[in-house]
């Protein structure tokens, strides 16, 4: 597991939530996931993220944002995970700990989240300064819907690495808890750092979703419309942004605009989420 490029995404196409959530696993042992399976998972994620915004009770007043240490100008360069494990456990035990991290990564990759969490909970007790452990444990909690626990580990990852690579996931954990001020603060950090267009897009989706969750649909639409134009060669993050924007158009009563955008998505990926049904319902 190399720290070089830790948290780094495949910049142009990668930052869609389930694929980003496999990031640590990809850095350890796995080859690139075959594209068909990747697409199948992406097709459901956009709809799930939007529907989650309307689910569950929200606090009447958002808690004040956490006091965070400001991010450095560039992410912190840290030793490789095997070096950090050997410092924490010793040479032989450190090597075994690295193997355990790889085991957790495989379990995560295969969606055996309980198994991954069990291994990582054992590691984090003595290796809470190993970013890969914090990152993967946070992502495991996120995939299990453990929003508070996921936020705790990803906040620690942010502070340790100075990285914004997991900000969309972290912000979504706070969004699920109705912590609107934290979502805003993380969106501003990510927007200002601007690590890649696709990662900023993912953060924008979470921020707009949080605004819409509060009933401020017009403001959410403006955030998603800002800088948006139909790309000539759309990628996954373009389709996700278009889907979220079309959903907001429909919720706002702008049905012709919603249908036009849903139809554009269908033209590029007819199996994306429930887009075919959305087009028919607006006909």
pLDDT, tens digit (0-9, with 9 covering 90-100), for 148-157:
999 999 999 9
Residue 256 has pLDDT above 90, yes or no: yes
pTM of the predicted protein model? 0.82
The CATH homologous superfamily for domain 17-214 is Tetratricopeptide repeat domain (1.25.40.10)
Alpha helices by DSSP H, listed for 56-196, are: 81-89, 91-109, 113-124, 131-143, 147-161, 167-176, 180-193
Count Cα atoms within 13 angstroms, Cβ side, for 174. 28
Axis crossing angle, helix 167-176 with helix 131-143, rounded to the nearest 10: 40
Specify the 3-state DSSP secondary structure of 136.
Answer: helix
Domain ranges (residues) in the chain = 17-214, 217-283
Contacts of 280 by beta carbon, 8 Å cutoff, 6+ apart? none
pLDDT digits 0-9 by tens, 171-210: 999 999 999 999 999 999 999 999 999 999 999 999 999 9
């Amino acid at each position: 597991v190399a720290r070089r490029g830790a948290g780094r995404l495949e910049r142009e196409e990668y930052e869609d939530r389930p694929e980003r959530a496999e990031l640590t696993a990809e850095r350890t042992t796995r080859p690139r996931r075959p594209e068909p399976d990747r697409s199948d998972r992406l097709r459901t994620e956009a709809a799930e993220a939007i529907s989650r915004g309307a689910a569950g009770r929200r606090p009447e007043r958002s808690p004040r944002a956490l006091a965070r240490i400001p991010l450095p100008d560039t992410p912190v360069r840290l030793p490789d995970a095997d070096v950090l494990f050997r410092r924490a456990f010793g040479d032989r035990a450190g090597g075994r700990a690295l193997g355990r991290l790889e085991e957790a990564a495989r379990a995560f990759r295969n969606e055996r989240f309980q198994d991954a969490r069990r291994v990582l909970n054992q590691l984090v007790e003595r290796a809470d300064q190993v970013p890969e452990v914090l990152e993967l444990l946070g992502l495991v909690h996120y995939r299990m819907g453990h929003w508070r626990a996921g936020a705790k580990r990803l906040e620690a990852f942010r502070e340790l690495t100075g990285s914004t690579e997991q900000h969309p996931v972290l912000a979504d954990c706070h969004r699920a808890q109705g912590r609107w001020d934290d979502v805003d603060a993380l969106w501003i950090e990510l927007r200002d750092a601007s690590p890649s267009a696709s990662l900023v897009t993912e953060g924008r989706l979470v921020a707009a979703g949080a605004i819409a969750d509060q009933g401020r649909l017009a403001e959410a639409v403006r955030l998603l419309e800002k800088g948006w134009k139909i790309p000539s060669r759309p990628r996954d993050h373009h389709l996700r942004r278009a889907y979220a924007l079309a959903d907001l158009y429909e919720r706002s009563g702008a049905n012709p605009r919603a249908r036009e955008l849903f139809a554009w998505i269908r033209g590029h990926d007819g199996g994306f989420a429930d887009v075919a049904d959305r087009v028919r319902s607006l006909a």
